[in-house]
């Protein structure tokens, strides 16, 4: 066995999280103010043994002791949930950021595709952007000139080469961007979810191109949530979980491990103490949970029904009603649903069926294969009248996972906000 | 191992395999700097050209009056300075027409001020690149300085037209033109690197930059001749690196006799110091840029 192309040894990355900071950035003003207040603290506690320290900051290990080897010509997948450290690992590998500990040895030139169209400038033409983007990705001018026609042909944007890309449609933009990326000649390619772009047809083209790249003996590290693409492109996989890595020699085993990972989202929020629970004198919320396959699960499969249960204390005789809003990860509201009829307003007095004082559970089922894979959030309203007594803001998140059996081998992203299964019929008319 | 054999079936793959034994090895480690970095800088020199080219292209594409602006700005400033310092304050001009004196000082000053504003904000405006691709970060602020050379060249043409109009001819000293250009470049890059790095670290630093540029214009001898500064303060005055540059430009363009050599030496030393500390401070912040930007 020869030296591995990539050897990753005990790589760790620490980030410092600021708790108090309202703004993401440090400003000189705050630094000076902080220094002054520290000095003041020291003066006040002068002579004391212990000076209380500012504990607004906390260390967070995005990666911890990650180690694995990648052999020449191997396509390896890196999978894991959001926040498991995949992006951090790619950023370290592509030298965008330094590891806090550990060491990586690379044999060969490397290109990273963390995003297609990095550095595209809207004012520049397609032609100019090909050169600029190529140079940013580490191609030399002669290399780009040599591949120029191929790139243009692949992107299908010949007619618009001398138009500023700000006039491009988003599809054209992405095609051009991927075309440059696909023609990189580096020995090692780091690919991060770039396949989630463009229309279905172009995605297929990209995937084919990716697997061609693999066949030429190029080493590929592929980060994706698209398990079907992972299965098709990779022979091995590394599963990341809260910054720790586990290497699997079979992709199927890795996917199983990934699916059974405990999600960061618990799938249940509960308020054990009635007094501090959200609500008012009429009713208070007790718990909200997502149930799939008979158990609390924040990562239900696309192929399974998702039951949403809401438990609450009814503190006065009345007739509380529920309303549910579901949002996708772009913050777009997919739908809303209520357990009352709009013809009859949720008015406690006029409602015939009053609920007694006690604990109640209201639930509903989101049918399977309705939500597309990805993170969703639910907003729940409970009301005995207007305005609502309880509004559970979009804090309850759940992650719908893709299922192989539902897709039947289709590789691309399933387009659209929802994906209901519709009954299709064809009749011969004549 | 199955996957490896699968990968090596094709002749192309074999070629890759063989090539890899001669491929350079790269080690990524915390705090790994030095030799590798400068080698990278050289191998990414084409990116430097491309980014500079992009900046120039975008600058003159976005504003319809891009070139007009490059002509109008120095001309209008020159008129104002001539009226205020030459006509109203009646400052001495050592026998040179006042507009020419001002314009010769404004050439390096405007280069410095645009270069400084561009490079100090360059990291922030290219943050999408910094978080997605690796390359030596030094390329960004330095290449953005280059774009200011275009405005500088336009101004230079204006200068020549003005000199012809006033009948002032350059002397043999014009051969020192590159020396003072390099001097101006060094000041711009040195301070640009400092401010670019500080700008990333402290976001409110960008409010400081326009202030530096504005204040600098009055404490540098742009609108007047540095000969008006009393002799005993002259050396202290030369601690402003732009004083040496501006005096130098007037010296080689207008043939002024009383060139203050100690001041120039002082300026040069400080410029080199500025450049050196700028580069080393930038290099120290560089590793963290992608994390905090």
Residue A135 sits at the chain B interface (C-beta within 8 Å): yes
Lowest mean pLDDT among A38-52, A62-76, A96-110, A234-248: A38-52
Instruction: With both helix axes pointing from N to C terminus, report the angle between B45-62 and B35-43 in degrees, rounded to the nearest 10.
Output: 50
Give the largest CA-CA distance in chain A: 100
Instruction: Confirm or reject contact between A368 and chain B (CB < 8 A).
Output: no
Q: What pLDDT is attached to residue B276?
A: 95
Tell me what pLDDT residue A393 has.
65
- Helix (H), strand (E) at residue A321: strand A321-328
pLDDT at residue A144 tops 60: yes
* H or E stretch covering B183: helix B177-201
Mean pLDDT of A123-132: 90
Average confidence (pLDDT) over B22-33: 68
User: Closest to A73 (Cβ–Cβ): which among B13, B47, B292?
Assistant: B13
Instruction: Please indicate whether, in this complex, the C-beta atoms of B31 and A114 are within 8 angstroms of each other.
Output: no
Do A25 and B292 lie within an 8 Å CB cutoff? Answer: yes
The average confidence (pLDDT) of chain B is 84
Query: Which residues from chain A sit within 8 angstroms of residue B31, using beta carbons?
Result: 98
Determine which of A95, A116, A185, A192 to mutate to test the interface with B (most B C-beta atoms within 10 Å). A95
What is the mean predicted confidence (pLDDT) over A294-304? 81
pLDDT of A187 > 60? The answer is yes
Please indicate whether, in this complex, the C-beta atoms of B130 and A96 are within 8 angstroms of each other. Answer: yes
Contacts of B56 in chain A (CB under 8 A): none
Contacts of A96 in chain B (CB under 8 A): 130-134, 290
In this complex, do A124 and B46 lie within 8 Å of one another by their Cβ atoms?
Answer: no
**Mean pLDDT of the A28-51 span:** 74
Distances (CA, A) of A68 to A7, A125, B165: 6, 42, 72
Contact A104 B28 (CB under 8 A): yes
Mean pLDDT, chain A, as a whole number?
Answer: 80
- Which of residues A28 and A101 earns the better pLDDT score? A101
Task: State the Cα–Cα distance between residues B120 and B141, nearest whole angstrom.
Answer: 7
- At residue B112, φ and ψ (nearest 5 deg) are -60, -45
Closest-CA distance, A398 to chain B, in angstroms, reads 28
Q: Does A194 touch chain B (CB under 8 A)?
A: no
* Average pLDDT, integer, range A400-429: 74
The pLDDT, as a whole number, for residue A258 is: 78
Nearest to A80 by CA among A237, A188, A220: A237
- Partners of B18 on chain A (C-beta within 8 Å) are none
Chain A to chain B Cβ contacts (< 8 Å): 167
**A217: nearest CB among B8, B30, B202:** B8
Chain A residues inside the 8 Å CB shell of B19: 187
Closest partner residue to B3 (CB to CB) among A107, A136, A236 is A236
Q: Check whether the bond before A305 is cis (ω within 30° of 0).
A: no
Please give the residue of chain B at the shortest CA–CA distance from A76: B3
**Euclidean distance between CA atoms A146 and A123, whole angstroms:** 24
* Cβ contact, residue pair A235, B6, below 8 Å: yes
Q: What's the average model confidence in pLDDT over A38-61?
A: 69
Tokens of B235: 């050396």
- Mean pLDDT value of segment A143-154: 91
> Could you tell me if A212 and A134 are in contact, meaning their C-beta atoms sit under 8 angstroms apart?
no
Q: Is A72 touching B (CB cutoff 8 A)?
A: yes
pLDDT digits (tens, 9 = 90+) for B143-181: 999 888 888 998 989 999 999 998 888 788 888 889 999
Beta strands at A75-80 and A219-223: parallel, antiparallel or unpaired: parallel
Mean pLDDT of A342-351: 51
Nearest-CB residue to A123 (from B26, B62, B132): B62
Q: What's the CA gap between A124 and A111, in Å, rounded? A: 23
For chain A, give the number of residues. 430
Mutate to test the interface with B, among A5, A31, A73 (most CBs of B within 10 A): A73
pLDDT-derived band at B10 (thresholds 50, 70, 90) equals: low
Residue in B17, B132, B135 nearest the CB of A217: B17
Number of neighbours of residue B84 by Cβ within 10 angstroms? 14
pTM to 2 decimals? 0.73
Q: Do A103 and B29 touch (CB under 8 A)?
A: yes
**Do the chains contact at B23 and A107, CB–CB below 8 Å?**
yes
- Give the residue from chain A lying closest to B202, CA to CA: A27
Q: Given an 8 Å threshold on Cβ–Cβ distance, is A124 in contact with B3?
A: no
Predicted-assembly ipTM surpassing the 0.90 threshold: no
Structure tokens at A282: 């009429």
pLDDT, position A34: 80
A281 Cβ contact list (under 8 Å, min separation 6): A315, A316
The rounded distance, in Å, linking the Cα atoms of A221 and A162 is 34
Give residue-wise pLDDT tens across range B35-67. Answer: 778 888 888 888 999 999 998 888 877 666 667
In B, minimum Cα distance to A135 occurs at B47
| pLDDT tens by residue, A361-399 | 988 998 888 888 777 878 888 877 767 777 776 556 777
Closest CA–CA distance from residue A278 to any residue of chain B (Å)? 36
CB contact under 8 A, B23 and A71: no
Q: Can you give the pLDDT at residue A348? A: 47
Instruction: Name the closest residue on chain B to residue A91, using Cα atoms.
Output: B132
Q: Which residue has the higher pLDDT, A58 or B226?
A: B226
pLDDT tens track for B250-277:
888 887 777 788 888 888 999 999 999 9
Chain A positions in Cβ-Cβ contact with residue B15 (cut-off 8 Å) = 217
Out of A412-426, B5-19, B114-128, B218-232, least confident range: B5-19
Chain A nearest-CA residue for B16: A217
Other C-beta atoms within 10 Å of B157: how many?
A: 11
**pLDDT-wise least confident of A109-118, A385-394, B38-47, B126-135:** A385-394
Residues 6+ apart with CB under 8 A from A100: A12, A13, A14, B30
Contact predicate B293/B211, CB 8 Å: no
- What kind and span of H or E run contains B103? helix B98-125
């Amino acid at each position: 066995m020869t030296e591995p192309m990539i050897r990753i040894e005990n790589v760790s990355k620490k980030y410092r999280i600021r708790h108090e900071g309202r703004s993401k950035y440090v400003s000189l003003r705050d630094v000076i103010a902080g220094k002054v207040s520290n000095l003041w603290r020291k003066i006040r506690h002068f002579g004391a043994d212990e000076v209380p320290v500012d504990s607004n900051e906390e260390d967070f290990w995005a990666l911890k002791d990650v180690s694995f080897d990648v052999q020449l010509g191997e396509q390896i997948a890196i999978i894991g949930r959001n926040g498991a450290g995949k992006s951090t690992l790619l950023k370290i590998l592509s030298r965008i950021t330094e590891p806090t500990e550990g060491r990586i040895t690379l044999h060969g030139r490397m290109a990273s595709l963390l995003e297609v169209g990095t550095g595209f400038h809207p004012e520049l033409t397609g032609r100019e952007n090909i050169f600029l983007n190529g140079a940013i990705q580490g191609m030399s001018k002669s290399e780009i000139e040599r591949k120029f026609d191929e790139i243009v042909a692949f992107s299908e944007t010949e007619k618009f080469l001398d138009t500023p890309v700000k006039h491009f449609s988003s599809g054209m933009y992405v095609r051009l961007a991927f075309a440059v990326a696909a023609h990189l000649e580096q020995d090692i390619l780091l690919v991060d979810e770039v396949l989630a772009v463009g229309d279905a047809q172009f995605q297929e083209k990209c995937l084919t191109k990716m697997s061609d790249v693999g066949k030429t003996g190029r080493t590929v590290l592929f980060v994706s949530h698209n398990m079907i693409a992972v299965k098709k492109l990779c022979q091995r996989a590394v599963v990341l979980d809260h910054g720790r890595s586990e290497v699997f020699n079979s992709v199927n085993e890795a996917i199983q491990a990934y699916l059974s990972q405990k999600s960061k989202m618990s799938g249940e929020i509960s308020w054990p103490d009635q007094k501090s629970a959200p609500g008012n004198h009429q009713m208070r919320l007790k718990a909200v949970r997502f149930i799939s396959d008979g158990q609390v699960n924040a990562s239900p499969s696309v192929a399974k029904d998702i039951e949403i249960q809401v438990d609450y204390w009814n503190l006065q005789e009345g007739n509380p009603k529920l309303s549910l809003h579901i949002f996708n990860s772009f913050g777009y509201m997919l739908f809303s649903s209520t357990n009352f009829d709009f013809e009859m307003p949720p008015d406690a007095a006029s409602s015939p069926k009053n609920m007694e004082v006690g604990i109640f559970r209201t639930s509903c089922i989101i049918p399977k294969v309705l939500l597309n894979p990805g993170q969703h959030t639910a907003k729940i309203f409970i009301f005995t009248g207007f305005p609502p007594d309880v509004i559970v803001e979009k804090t309850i998140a759940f992650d719908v996972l893709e299922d192989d059996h539902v897709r039947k081998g289709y590789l691309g992203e399933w387009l659209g906000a929802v994906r209901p299964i519709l009954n299709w019929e064809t009749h011969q008319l004549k | 191992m199955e996957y490896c054999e699968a990968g090596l079936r094709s002749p192309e793959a074999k070629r890759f395999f063989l090539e890899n034994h001669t491929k350079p090895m790269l080690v990524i480690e915390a705090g790994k700097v030095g030799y590798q970095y400068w080698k990278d800088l050289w191998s990414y020199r084409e990116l430097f050209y491309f980014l500079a080219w992009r900046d120039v292209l975008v600058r003159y594409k976005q504003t319809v009056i891009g070139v007009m602006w490059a002509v109008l700005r120095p001309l209008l400033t020159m008129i104002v300075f001539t009226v205020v310092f030459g006509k109203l304050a009646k400052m001495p001009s050592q026998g040179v027409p006042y507009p020419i004196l001002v314009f010769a000082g404004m050439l390096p000053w405007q280069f410095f001020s645009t270069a400084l504003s561009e490079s100090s904000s360059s990291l922030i405006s290219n943050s999408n690149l910094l978080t997605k691709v690796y390359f030596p970060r030094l390329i960004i602020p330095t290449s953005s300085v280059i774009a200011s050379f275009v405005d500088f060249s336009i101004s230079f043409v204006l200068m020549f037209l003005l000199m012809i109009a006033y009948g002032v001819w350059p002397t043999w000293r014009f051969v020192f033109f590159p020396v003072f250009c390099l001097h101006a470049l060094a000041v711009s890059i040195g301070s640009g690197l400092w401010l670019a790095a500080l700008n990333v670290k402290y976001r409110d630093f960008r409010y400081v930059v326009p202030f530096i540029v504005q204040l600098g214009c009055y404490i540098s001898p742009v609108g007047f001749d540095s000969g008006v500064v009393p002799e005993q303060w002259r050396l202290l005055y030369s601690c402003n690196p732009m004083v040496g540059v501006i005096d130098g430009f007037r010296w080689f363009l207008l043939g002024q006799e009383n060139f203050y050599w100690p001041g120039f030496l002082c300026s040069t030393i400080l410029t080199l110091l500025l450049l050196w500390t700028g580069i080393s401070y930038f290099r120290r912040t560089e590793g963290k840029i992608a994390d905090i930007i």
